[in-house]
Every structure is written in C-alpha cells, then in structure tokens.
Amino acid sequence: MTVDRRDVTEHFDRLAEEYDAWKEKGSYYYDLLADIYRGIIPEGSSVLEIGCGTGTLLARIRPSRGVGVDISPKMIAIAAAKHPEFRFLVADASSLRLPETFDYVMIPDVIEHLADIPGTFRALLGVCHPGTRVVLTCVNPRWAPVLHLAEHLKMKMPEGDHRWLPKREIVRIARDRGFTMEAHQGRILLPKRIPLLSSLLNRLAETAGWLAPVCLTHVYVFTTEGPR
C-alpha cells in the first residue's frame, strides 16, 4: 500500500482545529508516549521533530533548541502560535534540508503517514552529527483490528491515509540509508486508563522484553555517523 502526500496533507489540515481535542481525549496514551520520549531524550538537548502536529510533544521534551516539521500548513500555524519559543516549518520530511544538526530526531507515530520512508531516512542524514540519535515510535501492526474499531467508534483520532510497517521493514529501510539500530523495545499494553490494571500492565510492558511482539507501541533508537 502506498501513501499519497496530498491526501495526508489534506487530512491533517482538516483535522488541525480538532487535533488538540483528540489528543486530550486520548491523554492517557499521549502521556505514556511523552514519557517514552522523555525517558530517552535529556531535557536541554537540541531536538528536531518530524510530524510535529501542533507542537505539544516537542514542548514537553523541553529542548534547548527545538524545530518542528510537518506537512500540514494548518498544523504548523497552530504550533507556531502556541510555542513561539521553537521554530516550525512546513515541509515534506523526504525533502528536508536544514543548515544545522541535532542531538535527537523524534519521529512519533508518524512513519505510517510518510509517502517516502527511504527518502526521509536519507534526508535525516543531513541533520545528524555522529552522536545524533533518531527515536522513532510506531504502532504494532498486530493492533490494527483494535485500532480500526476504536476509530470507527470515534474513540481515537482518525488516521487518514497510512500503512503500518513491521519491524523488519523499518530496520531494513533505516539500515539501507546508513542507520544502525541501537535499541528496540515494546511499550504500552493498555492505552486507556483503567485504575490499577493500566499501570500494572504498562510497567510490565516496559520491563518484560518478551512481551514486545504484543505491545501496542514499538520504540526504535537509531544512530548514524552523521552527514555524508
């Protein structure tokens, strides 16, 4: 399945005004996602976020220098108004050109919407120095039936045009573009708040590596030697 850039842009432009409301509705999941990134990225780092939406996650990371990129002009307009301390750019990730490098690049639940994933990894080489880590989170394709049902019941944000990739394909694409997987972990077994049960299962997901194949969220950390 392919993803059309125009369809993705139009979908998120339509969604932009409701985006933060959807994030609030799913706040338990998005809080868990923010905790994942804050557990990897130290406060005060320089951070580039691909698919930044309205800039909420970037702000929660508290970078010393933050740049957000999104394909949706309406998302970027909202992000820039909410967070003037950061820089936000409308751009397709696969054609990204910036005259700077970053300590960390975040790709949070966005890879499934990218029309050109190999091109995106190739473009990221230009913003990486030898110590840069690319932190990517994405949905486990095994959860697709559950997520489609949740979307149908209006319990989660509509995804629009997308396709979920298995681990082997993500790792292969990254490796072919000069990245090495430093770490991989499964996280989140229950994305909704149920007293006691959610915290128990999600702590178990964090500590029990053998549960990774059934976790909702997969976390990848990639490294590279930097620009070529």
| CATH T-level topology, domain 5-223 | Rossmann fold (3.40.50)
pTM for this entry: 0.94
Residue 227 pLDDT greater than 70, yes or no: no
- Identity of the residue numbered 55: G
pLDDT of residue 1: 62
Distances (CA, A) of 104 to 70, 110, 143, 210, 223: 17, 16, 28, 27, 10
Residue 228 pLDDT greater than 70, yes or no: no
- Identity of the residue numbered 34: A
pLDDT of residue 162: 78
Is residue 90 a contact partner of residue 70, using CB atoms and an 8 Å limit? Answer: yes
For the stretch 37-50, pLDDT in tens is 999 999 999 999 99
Q: Which residues pair with 136 in a beta bridge?
A: 107, 220
Split at pLDDT 50, 70, 90, the class of 226 is: low
Question: How far apart (Å, rounded) are the C-alpha atoms in residues 139 and 217?
Answer: 5
Question: How far apart (Å, rounded) are the C-alpha atoms in residues 54 and 107?
Answer: 14
Share of the chain residues as helix, strand and coil, in percent rounded to the nearest 5: 45, 20, 30
